[in-house]
Amino acid sequence: MENNFDIGIIGGGPAGYTTALHSKEEGFSAVLFEMDELGGTCLNKGCIPTKAILHSAQMYKEMKNSTNLGINAENVTVDFQKVMERKNEIVLKLRKMLELSIKNSGTTVIKLHAEIIDNNKIRDNEGNIYNCKKIIIAVGAKPREIKGLEFDHKQILSSDDVLNLEKLPKSITIIGSGAIGIEWARIFSNFGVETTIVEMAEHLLPIADIEVSKRLERIFKGEKVKFYLNNCVEKVEKSENNVKLTLKTGEEINSECVLVGVGREINNFENHNATVLGDASRGIQLAHFASKQALEEIKGIHFDKTLVPSVVYGTPEIAWVGVREQDLEPDTYKKSMLLISSLGKAQCDNATEGFIKILSQNDRIVGAHIVSNEASALIMEILIAMQNNISIEKLKEICFPHPTYSEGIFDSLFKL
């Protein structure tokens, strides 16, 4: 049987479903192939479930340390099974909402394997042929394995495996300190799990501005999260309920399990000159980047790919956009640094850890790096100014509300 569509989409993650949701608006018929669940990694195995668990972990930590707020919470315990049940309920609720939106968009969803057989034809594994004027591949990525630490899904875990834990381990070692590693370190340490990180780079979160990395290291030291920098695993020995890692520097780490969080590798797919979006495009592996790629492709809405914000969740949040200070030539820029502890709202919220750092050149912001409550929202205020080329002097005319974290941005402008 043959079917005719304007657009054939392979993969139902952020790039794929965004394309599908907006196709009808542009007058296009679309067919979407997804063998697993709609929503991709972000909804089912990444952003959403991780943040649901992280929220529970943060609440537990706050309740354990609420005495100075005048709240005496005794015998606070974790029901990890309920934590995971809540996570599953959130994912299911959001997935059903997405499925309904896709249905209402008029997109045909095919839950079969898809194969591109020429530039305009897709065949499913039941032999049906779909003629498509345009084919989009958005097949995403999967957890990356490293030699010697191949996933056994019991003691050596991927970021997929850790979402299906039935109980909290007593101890865990996390390999890698990107967003995956840092967020899971926060989750486990907040739940009281003995947590250790091994990072090959000289600092934690090496993609970030150097002062962000150093502040994160200070925070983790205060929270008793151990970390080994400029290091890697040379030997792995597994026994019942224990994994012993020997590092290149000779130190030994014993923990109940290991989470390998060294990023993701793209899912390969024969594309026959099709358009590739999302993680599979070898671009920035972020859900919002994938969605913007899709909007650019289907609606022609351009976006500046050098101004894509990054966020690491937890307490405090970490967010940045634009250039890092270590990438600028000395004496070519101005810098402001405002401590979050100087803000009234931070003091009221008992959330004084962090800073707002802004870098400027020629009266324009070129980079911002924030460690603070609400950093994910604060970074957008700065990004809007950057993308619209608004001068610092013009930004000073804006009336910021008080007391807020955002007024820290206003205060920072006068230090540039």
Residues 198 and 330 in one domain: no
pTM of the model: 0.96
Q: Is residue 304 part of a domain?
A: no
Same domain membership, residue 215 and residue 130: no
Whether residue 320 is found in the same domain as residue 233: no
Q: Return the H-helix or E-strand segment holding 395.
A: helix 392-395
pLDDT of residue 146: 94
Judge if the upstream peptide bond of residue 206 is cis by omega within 30 degrees of 0.
Answer: no
What's the structural domain count of the chain?
3
Length of the chain, please? 416
- Please give the residue range of the domain that contains residue 257: 156-262
Asked whether residue 108 is assigned to any structural domain, the reply reads yes
Do 245 and 275 sit in the same domain of this protein? no
Cβ contact 201:230 at 8 Å: yes
| Residue 250, domain member (yes or no) | yes
Say how far apart CA 309 and CA 322 lie, in whole Å. Answer: 8
In this structure, the answer to whether residues 26 and 94 fall within a common structural domain is yes
| pLDDT given for residue 273 in this prediction | 87
Do 22 and 161 belong together in one domain? no
Residue 271 pLDDT: 81
From 254, 280, 299, the end of a domain falls on 299
Task: Give the pLDDT score at 74.
Answer: 87
Which pLDDT belongs to residue 1? Answer: 64
* CATH code of the domain covering residue 360: 3.30.390.30
Are 123 and 161 contained in the same domain? no
pLDDT digits (tens, 9 = 90+) for 371-398: 999 999 999 999 999 999 999 999 999 9
Among 221, 276, 319, residue whose Cα is nearest residue 13: 276
Whether residue 7 sits in one domain with residue 138: yes
| Domain annotation covers residue 148 | no
Q: Where are the beta strands (DSSP E) in 275-401?
A: 275-276, 310-312, 317-322, 334-339, 355-361, 364-372
Q: In sequence order, what are the residues at sequence separation of 6 or more whose Cβ sits closer than 8 angstroms to the Cβ of residue 394?
A: none
Whether residues 294 and 322 share a domain: the answer is: no
Give a yes or no: residue 325 inside a domain.
yes
Q: How is residue 48 written in tokens?
A: 């959403």
Same domain, 191 and 122: no
Distance CA 139, CA 277 (A): 8
Give the pLDDT of the chain (416 residues) as one tens digit per residue: 679 999 999 999 999 999 999 999 999 999 999 999 999 999 999 999 999 999 999 999 999 999 989 999 889 999 999 999 999 999 999 999 999 999 999 999 999 999 999 999 999 999 999 999 999 999 999 999 999 999 999 999 999 999 999 999 999 999 999 999 999 999 999 999 999 999 999 999 999 999 999 999 999 999 999 999 999 999 999 999 999 999 999 999 999 999 999 999 999 888 888 999 999 999 999 999 999 999 999 999 999 999 999 999 999 999 999 999 999 999 999 999 999 999 999 999 999 999 999 999 999 999 999 999 999 999 999 999 999 999 999 999 999 999 999 999 999 999 99
Tell which of 299, 323, 356 closes a domain. Answer: 299
Q: At what angle do helices 80-104 and 14-23 cross, to 10 degrees?
A: 30
CATH number reported for the structural domain that contains residue 184 in this entry: 3.50.50.60
Residues 241 and 216 placed together within one structural domain of the fold = yes
pLDDT at residue number 270 = 86
Residue 404 in domain: yes
Q: Tell me if residue 289 falls in helix, strand or coil.
A: helix
* Shared domain check, 345 and 270: no
- Indicate whether 272 belongs to any domain: yes
Tell me which residue has tokens 């802004």: 358
Is 147 a member of any domain?
Answer: no
